[in-house]
A and B are shown apart, each in its own frame.
Chain A
Amino acid sequence: MNNPAFDLLMWARGPGFDIALVIFVGGIVLRLFEISILGRKRDLAPAKGNGFLQGLKTIFSRSVPREGLVKFAPVTYIGGYVFHIGFFVAFFFFAPHIALIDDAFGISWPAAGRVIIESVTALTVLALLALTYSRFTDPVRKSLTTFDDYLVLLLSALPLITGYVAVNKLFGDPTMMLAVHLLTVEALMIAFPFTKLMHAVSFVLSRYYNGSIQGRKGAES
């Protein structure tokens, strides 16, 4: 006798993960090569500031919004922060995820408790809902939104929701929900390199370029 939920879980942990990983890692590398091999011409104008250092600095400093801007797009800013921090915490501080990272890279750190993980997850999903809502209602967001954006929102929300359901046994067989959780993560991984999710990697390049262009001129970034 087989347990379909268990078989699905094993598929998700085995071939499913392998397929997703290959597309995820291969895709990211592909995209990064695709971008960086294009190259940029050496800037012949004598530099006034250190573009390299400011580029590096901007990778981090751009995480802080410009003064006074938050009030003009509160949903995007606050929702964006809650989502990003929440997703980060839920991913990197939930013990089973740390176990995965430990297995893959041999590094680990203390896990956060259930109360933290679950409230963060709930907040993160709420933030996603708010961001989705603003894509429907806010004129700027609405005019910019494409299918890709909704897909990305959905793909980001599903692992959070299914993870929450699996851990709390809200409904369904827990083994099945765990399998479904892994499958949603795998869907996210597969979509990652070829959708706007890729920004989670390419933002480093973009911020660096931005900072280095400005920095060479001695301008702020």
Chain B
Amino acid sequence: MTATLERGLNALREQIDAPVASFFTSCVSCGLCAEACLFYRETEDPQYTPIKKLDLMRRVWSREFTLLGRIGGWLGLTKPVTDADLTAWETLVYDSCTMCGRCTLVCPVGNDLTMMIRKMREGMSASGHGPVELIGAAQRHIDGNSAMGDLSKAIHAQVKNAVEAAGIPIEFDKPGVDYMVILSAQEIAEFPDVLSAMARIFKKADVTWTISNAAFEATNVGIQLGSRDIARTLVQRVVDAAESLGVKGVISPECGHAYQALRWEGPNLIGRAYNFEVIHIIELLDQLRAQGKLKTKGKNSRKLTFHDPCQINRRGGINKEPRRLMNMVAENFVETEDAGTMNWCCGGGGGVGANERAAPLRNIAFKRKKAQIDKVNPDAIVTMCAYCHHTLDNVLEEFNMEQEVLGLTELVAEYLDEDA
């Protein structure tokens, strides 16, 4: 059994529902989605107009889901989607879209283009048009425990370091605790300080937590590649682990698509609601702040700005929480233009960051984010997604920019009032 055109088209057919039909019906090809897209804005190449990236799906819908399209198809007025078409669209669907969701918010007729890209990727991947890096990551994660391969040794080592740094024990597989923490591979590999930060904050707030050996990885390449089957398998692992530990909730870490995968897609993938809640770390910190369980002392005096990760804010609904936390710890917090719901993507989301082929385009697209940062010219950029963090680190370096990138959890922990 291999990827074929027919499987791809079938996957597209499976994805077409009332919203998709309504969106394609409503499109008046005004092209305003292009103005919202960082890839179009920086290249001014009309092929990057978001709705154009969906054209194959539109053709399937038109030919097979509308009366007139069906008649046109019978009469041979329209051509079916071919494998060559899919090949031609591969780079448009995977390289020039981070699924950042800006187009979804500007479309005057209200088309959720991002949701349709997500659906279109189902057909692309099933027909064998997924980027190799994402396929590799999927294989590694399915076969092992992380998109980066086997990270079980790494996590144990990082936890050990954190326990030493914070002086607080972190237990694996402890049943009955409040939360099970999952981490993005990026955090485990690059930003492990978040572990000690969480340990200190949770200790102060009397929140108990654990890490599961069976499911500590939060990322879900199935979402980016566009494969519900793979995404389901990965979500199921987390759900099984959490439910066997009997935790009250799972903390979704500073990772954009992981939140999207577990919090919003997950129940729909496995076909049922969970027996636990999923909460984003920043949501939880803000809750603790509101309950008076999180108190800080002192403030960072540098000029700080905040980068909203698309999947957590624009497509995840966590907007005010990080700002309240920022104001707790930042003396000089400045917002960039378009900050918040309409923030510009770092350019690495939606699997684009992992896609080598997309690197040159990604660097061009980053100029949008760069312009946004340049205007404010902060000393450091705070964010709440490890992958944004990772992308920003890389491209800032590429563009010889001086700014430091910080994780919000670590920043909050830095000013934790140990005496309160």
Residues of B close to A119: CB separation below 8 A = none
Interface residues of B in 379-404 (CB under 8 A from A): none
What's the Cα separation between A67 and B27 when bound, in Å? 21
Contact B25–A218 (Cβ < 8 Å): no
B1 CB within 8 Å of chain A: no
Contact A58–B30 (Cβ < 8 Å): no
B317 CB within 8 Å of chain A: yes
Closest Cβ–Cβ distance, residue A78 to chain B (whole Å): 12
Complex interface bits, A176-201 against B, C-beta within 8 A gives 1, otherwise 0: 00000000000000000010101100
Contact B110–A210 (Cβ < 8 Å): yes
Known contacts A140-B31, A199-B27, A199-B109; A45/B263 CB under 8 A: yes
Contact A38–B21 (Cβ < 8 Å): yes
Closest Cβ–Cβ distance, residue B278 to chain A (whole Å): 8
What's the Cα separation between A220 and B109 when bound, in Å? 16
Interface residues of A in 106-137 (CB under 8 A from B): none
Known contacts A34-B66, A217-B316; A80/B30 CB under 8 A: yes
Residues of B close to A40: CB separation below 8 A = 17-19
What's the Cα separation between A32 and B384 when bound, in Å? 41
Closest Cβ–Cβ distance, residue A147 to chain B (whole Å): 11
Known contacts A35-B21, A68-B338, A217-B316; A146/B109 CB under 8 A: no
**Other-chain contact of A144, B19, B31, B110, B263 (Cβ < 8 Å):** B31
**Other-chain contact of A213, B19, B26, B68, B319 (Cβ < 8 Å):** B19
Residues of B close to A211: CB separation below 8 A = 110
Residues of A close to B41: CB separation below 8 A = 72
**Other-chain contact of A196, B28, B104, B108 (Cβ < 8 Å):** B28
What's the Cα separation between A2 and B19 when bound, in Å? 52
Closest Cβ–Cβ distance, residue A185 to chain B (whole Å): 20
A148 (CB) vs chain B CBs: closest residue = B29
Size of interface on B: residues with Cβ below 8 Å to A: 62
B354 CB within 8 Å of chain A: no
Closest Cβ–Cβ distance, residue B15 to chain A (whole Å): 11
B74 CB within 8 Å of chain A: no
What's the Cα separation between A189 and B16 when bound, in Å? 28
Kindly name the residue among A35, A62, A73, A143 whose own CB sees the greatest number of chain B CB atoms within 10 A: A35
Closest Cβ–Cβ distance, residue A210 to chain B (whole Å): 4
Interface residues of A in 34-87 (CB under 8 A from B): 34-41, 43-46, 48-49, 58-59, 62-63, 65-69, 72-73, 76-77, 80
Q: On chain A, which size bracket covers the interface?
A: 35 or more
A42 (CB) vs chain B CBs: closest residue = B268
Contact B17–A44 (Cβ < 8 Å): no
B111 CB within 8 Å of chain A: yes
Closest Cβ–Cβ distance, residue B372 to chain A (whole Å): 12
**Other-chain contact of B30, A76, A218, A221 (Cβ < 8 Å):** A76
Contact A208–B28 (Cβ < 8 Å): no
Complex interface bits, A7-43 against B, C-beta within 8 A gives 1, otherwise 0: 0000000000000000000000011001111111101
B342 CB within 8 Å of chain A: yes
Complex interface bits, A129-167 against B, C-beta within 8 A gives 1, otherwise 0: 000000000111111111001001000000000000000
A198 (CB) vs chain B CBs: closest residue = B25
What's the Cα separation between A174 and B222 when bound, in Å? 65
Residues of A close to B108: CB separation below 8 A = 62-63, 65, 80, 203
Known contacts A206-B111, A210-B112; A145/B26 CB under 8 A: no
B271 (CB) vs chain A CBs: closest residue = A44
What's the Cα separation between A207 and B146 when bound, in Å? 38
A94 CB within 8 Å of chain B: no
Contact B26–A69 (Cβ < 8 Å): no
What's the Cα separation between A55 and B289 when bound, in Å? 31
Contact B115–A213 (Cβ < 8 Å): yes
Contact B52–A205 (Cβ < 8 Å): no
Contact B34–A199 (Cβ < 8 Å): no
A219 CB within 8 Å of chain B: yes
B149 CB within 8 Å of chain A: no
Residues of A close to B16: CB separation below 8 A = 38
Closest Cβ–Cβ distance, residue A41 to chain B (whole Å): 7
B220 CB within 8 Å of chain A: no
Known contacts A44-B273, A140-B34, A213-B115; A203/B110 CB under 8 A: yes
Known contacts A45-B267, A80-B30, A210-B110; A144/B105 CB under 8 A: no
Residues of A close to B46: CB separation below 8 A = 139-140, 142-144
Contact A72–B26 (Cβ < 8 Å): no
Residues of B close to A31: CB separation below 8 A = 25, 66
Residues of A close to B49: CB separation below 8 A = 140, 143-144
What's the Cα separation between A203 and B110 when bound, in Å? 7
B277 (CB) vs chain A CBs: closest residue = A46
Contact B31–A39 (Cβ < 8 Å): no
**Other-chain contact of A45, B67, B266, B313 (Cβ < 8 Å):** B266
A91 CB within 8 Å of chain B: no
Residues of B close to A198: CB separation below 8 A = 25-26
Complex interface bits, B109-149 against A, C-beta within 8 A gives 1, otherwise 0: 11110010000000000000000000000000000000000
Contact B22–A205 (Cβ < 8 Å): yes
A209 CB within 8 Å of chain B: yes
Contact B17–A38 (Cβ < 8 Å): yes
Contact B268–A65 (Cβ < 8 Å): no
| 16 extra A-B contacts, CB within 8 A, seeds A66-B342, A206-B22, A211-B110 | A38-B17, A39-B18, A44-B273, A48-B317, A62-B110, A66-B36, A139-B46, A140-B46, A141-B29, A143-B52, A196-B29, A203-B110, A206-B107, A206-B110, A208-B110, A217-B315
What are 10 contact pairs spanning A and B, CB under 8 A? A34-B65, A41-B17, A67-B342, A76-B30, A139-B44, A140-B34, A207-B109, A209-B19, A219-B341, A220-B317
* 3 interchain residue pairs of minimum CB distance: A207-B110, A218-B317, A219-B317
